[in-house]
Amino acid sequence: MLDAVTLDQLRTFIAAADEGSFSAAGRKLRRAQSVVSQTLANLEGQFGVKLFDRTRRRPALTPHGQVLLTHARTVAGDVDRLKAHARHLAGGLEPELSIAVDVMFPMATLTEAVTAFHAVFPLTPLRLYAETLGAVMQSLLDERCTIGLSGELASAPPLFTKEPLLKIPLVHVASPRHPLASYGRPIPSSELTRHVQLVLTDRSTMSKGQDFGVLSARTWRLADLGAKHAFLRAGLGWGGMPAELVQPDLSRGTLVKIVPEDAPPGGFVVTMSAVYRTAAPPGIAGAWFIDRLKQGAESVERTRVEGRRGKRGTRTGGGMPHN
């Protein structure tokens, strides 16, 4: 008998409970009261329990009815979500969204976008892969991922479409125990090359033969940004890191900033872009996710600009900068 329970019966049950009477439920569902009453009587027969106490002037839920009403709402809600998801899939929503993320991409911006994505597309699975350099592009070429969040790569194939997202300021740092920490600024290349530089390496072959930001002849190559961060703090070498990531270390003194002699006037910057194969652009969810990342990047940039203005404009009573 339970296999014959229909969604229409459950919706009638919910309407009667919400409206407080069979007649009101009938008006809401545009049905005669007698039809509502018979539908509920059939449902009670299938369940084998009374859902409503009809001895009162207005029908009231029984204890069994109160328990089953909660389940009825869950089932009806799940069906609504299923139907909505099916409509979205038919309209171009991806069955899942797979994204390769460069390890340099700001985690706060990514987390905010993922949180918002989960709220808007709760039924769309999300797969994230952390990669470095050309491995992001390789995952797109292999069709393991739909979107890549990638830094600049000189050998990026022309079959990719890029949408710029944000710029990441980089700083070169070393442990305060490292010889370069007390050398002074700027540090000439002849001195930098004498010390081990910690460099992110590419697990793919797309950047083979190319070095990005390598200033020393002595390098240790790591495929993990967290390991590089830990090794820098341990004094095992020097290297470039996202400025926001190491700002707490610079404030605490666990890392110190060093400036190479040939550093550009504005400092080193990596441009991050959303990348995808031109022949296979993202669908509804992917396009939404890229737009959300752009919004987050714009918000971060506004905050950064306002912070710089605040630092320039803040003064103590004696006219000196306020630290």
Q: Tens digit of pLDDT per residue, the chain (323 long)?
A: 566 788 889 999 999 999 999 999 899 888 999 998 999 999 988 999 999 998 888 889 999 999 999 999 988 888 877 776 676 666 667 888 999 999 989 988 999 999 999 999 888 899 999 888 778 888 888 889 999 998 876 455 668 888 999 998 999 999 999 999 988 778 898 898 899 999 887 776 555 555 566 777 788 988 889 999 999 999 999 999 999 999 999 999 999 999 888 888 777 888 899 999 888 888 889 999 999 999 988 877 776 666 666 655 544 433 322 22
Q: What pLDDT is attached to residue 217?
A: 78
Q: Which of 216, 242, 210 is nearest to 229 (CA)?
A: 242
Integer Cα distance of 5 and 270 in angstroms = 59
Q: Structure tokens of 283?
A: 């669908």
Q: Structure tokens of 248?
A: 């707490």
Backbone angles phi and psi of 301, in degrees to 5? -65, -40
Identify the CATH assignment for 97-305 out of 3.40.30.10, 3.40.190.290, 3.40.50.300, 1.10.240.10. 3.40.190.290
HSE-up of residue 18 (Cα within 13 Å, Cβ side):
14
Q: What pLDDT is attached to residue 316?
A: 41
Integer Cα distance of 298 and 253 in angstroms = 30
Per the rule left: phi > 0, alpha: psi between -120 and 50, beta: everything else, 44 is alpha
Is the Cα dihedral 197, 148, 108, 305 positive or negative? positive
Integer Cα distance of 85 and 77 in angstroms = 12
Neighbours of 135 (CB within 10 A): 23
Q: Which of 280, 270, 272, 271 is nearest to 161 (CA)?
A: 280
Integer Cα distance of 273 and 256 in angstroms = 29
Q: Which of 169, 167, 129 is nearest to 294 (CA)?
A: 167
Sorted by where each begins, the domain ranges of the chain are 2-90, 97-305
**Rounded to 5°, angle at Cα 199 from 105 and 168:** 30
- The CATH architecture that domain 2-90 belongs to is Orthogonal Bundle (1.10)
Q: What pLDDT is attached to residue 153?
A: 60
Contact by Cβ (8 Å): 196, 218: yes
- Name the H helices within 98-199: 107-120, 134-141, 189-192
